[in-house]
């Protein structure tokens, strides 16, 4: 059986292809990845042993520009998961009109089980293995689950050592000291905030005093929590893989961020504990899944009591759940729009690297707001016009733009 994420991605694509009346030839091109690299590579471990790790880099499509997409370190990484995530990256770049194709990579590893030296060695060896297909004009990785700016710096350094000169544009999400951009760490969470602000404007909702529950308290979830709280929303629940914490009056997000640096959320004192399943069922204005794929399924979609789901994670909602939620009147702002802040600011970082000219943080954030708000309005208008969900509208826009590029370029030779 196919990986669930891949089934979801393909089902969403097929639905968009039907709506766009795509012929079988074009569907055939876009349903599969353009390039898939699997690598098995050895790493010297601290105890003197050698361990072999398995990793991937998948480029789904490059019709609109160089491939772009994150790198995931997780024991659950699989080729099918990479295929799904790479495909979503293609549509995401097209929805927000970035000149990129889609890619994704990852290593099957629990990074928390490695020492710092092992993590660096694994990263440098993996970067070397995939260096045959990545590059600043070819395919530009970025952080995703389990990876961070330090890991991006090691990748940049490794590729630069091979070239004999510094190539900052080969990867984004780097520390600012080595060609990173201001605002990248917060970009995905800030994009979620901007999308919610625009949604509030369109739906005449007051963000101040609205309630929020977030599943996942990593890069995306914790930044979104922080920014939403600062914007006046009440973040009543957040969770990580250990479970969740709840406070109906609003959580102190700053102290949770501090706490999480050393310990799992459930070990936090002074707040009620709640399970991940309960987080998804809270009666809030905004539910933000910001952890893994396949969290809201046809089994638990009936329990969702949020008015809006804003997808910080990639692929958190299955097609079965989509149908149930639509019937129940829950509006979903889909991943390829809601979490595009990360790739948008990655694009800004890449542009700055290529020009050796760096922007102020305000400029980064203003441009992010402009790009993601424009995309939100386009998707919302298309959904309204065609009487479809925001996911269907976003998919039709994204897939449509990739089809257009594919057909204009023609099939080589």
CA distance 165 to 162: 8
Catalytic residue among 104, 201, 261, 263: 104
Kindly state whether residue 81 participates in binding ligand NAD, applying the rule CB under 6 A: no
Q: Which residue is nearest to ligand NAD (CB)?
A: 218
Q: How many residues contact ligand NAD, by CB under 6 A? A: 24
Contact segment (CB under 6 A) with ligand NAD among 233-241, 247-255, 300-308, 352-360 equals 233-241
CA distance 133 to 125: 14
Q: Angle at the Cα of 118 (from 160 to 144), degrees rounded to 5?
A: 65
Q: Which of 55, 183, 218, 334 binds ligand NAD (CB under 6 A)?
A: 218
CA distance 195 to 329: 19
Kindly state whether residue 239 participates in binding ligand NAD, applying the rule CB under 6 A: yes
Q: Which two tokens stand for residue 260?
A: 């999480």
Using DSSP, state whether 35 is helix, strand or coil: strand
CB of 282 to ligand NAD, least distance (A): 14
Cβ closest to ligand NAD, residue 19 vs residue 76: 76
Kindly state whether residue 276 participates in binding ligand NAD, applying the rule CB under 6 A: yes
Cβ closest to ligand NAD, residue 22 vs residue 151: 151
Kindly state whether residue 146 participates in binding ligand NAD, applying the rule CB under 6 A: yes
Distances in whole angstroms, Cα of residue 54 to Cα of each of 19, 36, 76, 142, 400? 38, 13, 11, 19, 34
Paired strand residues for 288: 214
Kindly state whether residue 102 participates in binding ligand NAD, applying the rule CB under 6 A: no
Q: Which of 102, 342, 398, 400 binds ligand NAD (CB under 6 A)?
A: 342
Task: Say whether the peptide bond before residue 357 is cis (omega within 30 degrees of 0).
Answer: no
CB of 338 to ligand NAD, least distance (A): 9
CB of 127 to ligand NAD, least distance (A): 18
Using DSSP, state whether 221 is helix, strand or coil: helix
CA distance 309 to 387: 19
Q: Counting Cβ atoms within 10 Å, is residue 308 exposed (0-12), middle (13-18) or buried (19+)?
A: buried
Q: Angle at the Cα of 254 (from 251 to 259), degrees rounded to 5?
A: 95
Q: Which two tokens stand for residue 69?
A: 């997409």
Q: Which of 217, 347, 348, 376 binds ligand NAD (CB under 6 A)?
A: 217
Kindly state whether residue 90 participates in binding ligand NAD, applying the rule CB under 6 A: no
Q: Say if residues 65 and 138 touch (Cβ distance below 8 Å).
A: no
Q: Is 261 a catalytic residue?
A: no
Residues 296-325, one symbol each (x = binds ligand NAD by CB under 6 A, - = not), give ----------------xxx-----------
Residue in 345, 290, 281 with CA at minimum distance from that of residue 315: 290
Q: Which of 16, 119, 145, 268 binds ligand NAD (CB under 6 A)?
A: 145
Cβ closest to ligand NAD, residue 65 vs residue 243: 243
Q: Which of 216, 334, 398, 400 binds ligand NAD (CB under 6 A)?
A: 216
Footprint of ligand NAD (CB under 6 A): 143-146, 188, 215-221, 239-241, 276, 290-292, 312-314, 339, 342
| Catalytic annotation, residues | 104
């Amino acid at each position: 059986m196919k990986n669930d994420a891949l089934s979801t991605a393909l089902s969403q694509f097929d639905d968009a292809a039907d709506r766009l009346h795509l012929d079988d030839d074009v569907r055939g091109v876009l349903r599969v990845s353009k390039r898939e690299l699997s690598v098995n590579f050895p790493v010297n471990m601290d105890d003197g042993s050698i361990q072999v790790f398995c990793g991937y880099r998948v480029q789904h499509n490059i019709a609109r520009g160089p491939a772009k997409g994150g790198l995931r370190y997780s024991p659950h990484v699989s080729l099918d998961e990479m295929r799904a995530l790479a495909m979503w990256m293609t549509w995401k770049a097209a929805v927000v009109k970035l000149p990129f194709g889609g890619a994704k990579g990852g290593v099957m590893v629990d990074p928390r089980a490695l020492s710092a030296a092992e993590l660096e060695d694994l990263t440098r060896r993996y970067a070397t293995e995939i260096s045959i297909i990545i590059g600043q004009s070819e395919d530009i990785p970025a952080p995703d689950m389990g990876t961070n700016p330090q890991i991006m710096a090691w990748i940049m350094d490794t590729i630069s050592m091979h070239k004999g000169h510094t190539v900052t544009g080969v990867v984004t999400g780097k520390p600012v000291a080595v060609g990173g951009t201001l605002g990248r760490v917060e970009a995905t969470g800030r994009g979620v905030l901007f999308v919610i602000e625009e949604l509030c404007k369109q739906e005449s909702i007051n963000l101040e005093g609205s309630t929020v529950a977030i599943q996942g308290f990593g890069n995306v979830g914790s930044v979104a929590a922080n920014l939403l709280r600062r914007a006046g929303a009440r973040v009543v629940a957040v969770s990580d893989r250990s479970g969740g914490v709840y406070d109906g009056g609003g959580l102190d997000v700053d102290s949770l961020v501090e706490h999480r640096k050393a310990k799992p959320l459930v070990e936090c004192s002074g707040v009620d504990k709640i399970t991940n399943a309960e987080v998804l069922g809270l009666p809030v204005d905004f539910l933000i899944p910001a952890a893994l794929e396949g969290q809201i399924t046809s089994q638990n979609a009936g329990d969702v009591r949020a008015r809006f789901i804003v997808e910080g994670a990639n692929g958190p909602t299955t097609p079965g759940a989509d149908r149930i939620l639509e019937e129940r009147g829950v509006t979903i702002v889909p991943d390829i729009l809601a979490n595009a802040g990360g790739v948008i600011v990655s694009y800004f970082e890449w542009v700055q690297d290529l020009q050796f000219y760096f922007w102020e943080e305000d400029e980064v954030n203003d441009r992010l707001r402009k790009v993601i708000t424009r995309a939100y309005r386009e998707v919302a208008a298309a959904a309204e016009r065609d009487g479809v969900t925001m996911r269907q509208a976003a998919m039709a826009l994204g897939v449509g733009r990739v089809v257009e590029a594919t057909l204009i370029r023609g099939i080589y030779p």
